[in-house]
Amino acid sequence: MSHGRSSLDRREFLRLTAVTVAAGTIGPTFAGCDDGGDEETLEGIGPASSAADIARVFPQGVASGDPKPNSVILWTRVELSGDAPVDYEIATDQAFTDPIIVGSLTSSDDADHTLRVKPTELEPGTTYYYRFRADGVTTEWGRTRTAPTADDAAEVTFAFASCQDFNGRYYHAWHALVERDDVDFVMFLGDYIYETGNDPRFQDGTAERKVDIPEGISLDEEGIAKAALTLGDYRSLYKQYGSDKDLQEARRRFPFINIWDDHEFADDSWQDHSTHFNGAMHDQGDEKDTDRKTASNRAFFEYQPIDVEHDKTKKYPDDIRIYRTLRFGKHVELFMTDQRSYRDDHLISEHETNDDTGKVEMDTALGSRQLLKKIGFDALEAEAKPTLLGADQKAWFIDKVNGSDATWKFWGNEVMHGQLAIDLSDVEALPESFKGDFYLTVDQWDGFRSERAEVLAAIKDAGNVVVLTGDLHANYANELQLDFDAPGDPVAVEFVTAGISSRSFEEIIGRIVENSDLLSALGLAPVVAEMDDRIRARDPHVKYVKNKAYGLGWVKVSEGSLDVRFIEIDDVTTTTYSGSSGEVKFTVASGSNRIELA
Question: Which stretches of the chain bind Fe ion, using CB under 5 A?
Answer: 163, 191, 502
Nearer of residues 331 and 369 to Fe ion, judged by Cβ:
369
Cα distance between residue 29 and residue 416, in whole Å: 46
| DSSP assignment string, 126-154 | -EEEEEEEETTEEPPPEEEEPPPPTT---
Nearer of residues 334 and 416 to Fe ion, judged by Cβ:
416
Which of 598, 595, 561 is closest to 582 using CA atoms? 598
* Shortest Å distance, C-beta 86 to Fe ion: 33
* Shortest Å distance, C-beta 257 to Fe ion: 18
The H or E element spanning position 116 is: strand 114-119
Nearer of residues 396 and 476 to Fe ion, judged by Cβ:
476
- Annotate 248-276 with b (16+ C-beta within 10 A) or e (fewer): bbbbbbbbbbbbbbbbbbbbbbbbbbbbb
Nearer of residues 163 and 442 to Fe ion, judged by Cβ:
163
Cα distance between residue 144 and residue 92, in whole Å: 10
- The sheet that has 217-218: what strands, in order across it? 196-197, 226-227, 217-218
Q: Which residues contact 302 (CB under 8 A, 6 or more apart)?
A: 111, 112, 114, 235, 238
SS3 383: helix
* Shortest Å distance, C-beta 472 to Fe ion: 8
Q: Which residues contact 196 (CB under 8 A, 6 or more apart)?
A: 203, 213, 219, 225, 226, 227, 228, 263, 267
Nearer of residues 191 and 307 to Fe ion, judged by Cβ:
191
Q: Would you say the C-alpha torsion 356, 360, 366, 371 has a positive or negative sign?
A: negative
- Number of other CB atoms surrounding residue 223 within 10 Å: 11
* Shortest Å distance, C-beta 1 to Fe ion: 39
Nearer of residues 161 and 163 to Fe ion, judged by Cβ:
163
* Shortest Å distance, C-beta 165 to Fe ion: 7
* Shortest Å distance, C-beta 31 to Fe ion: 45
Nearer of residues 444 and 502 to Fe ion, judged by Cβ:
502
Nearer of residues 157 and 296 to Fe ion, judged by Cβ:
296
* Shortest Å distance, C-beta 163 to Fe ion: 3
* Shortest Å distance, C-beta 227 to Fe ion: 15
**Rounded-to-10 torsion of CA 57, 61, 65, 68:** 80
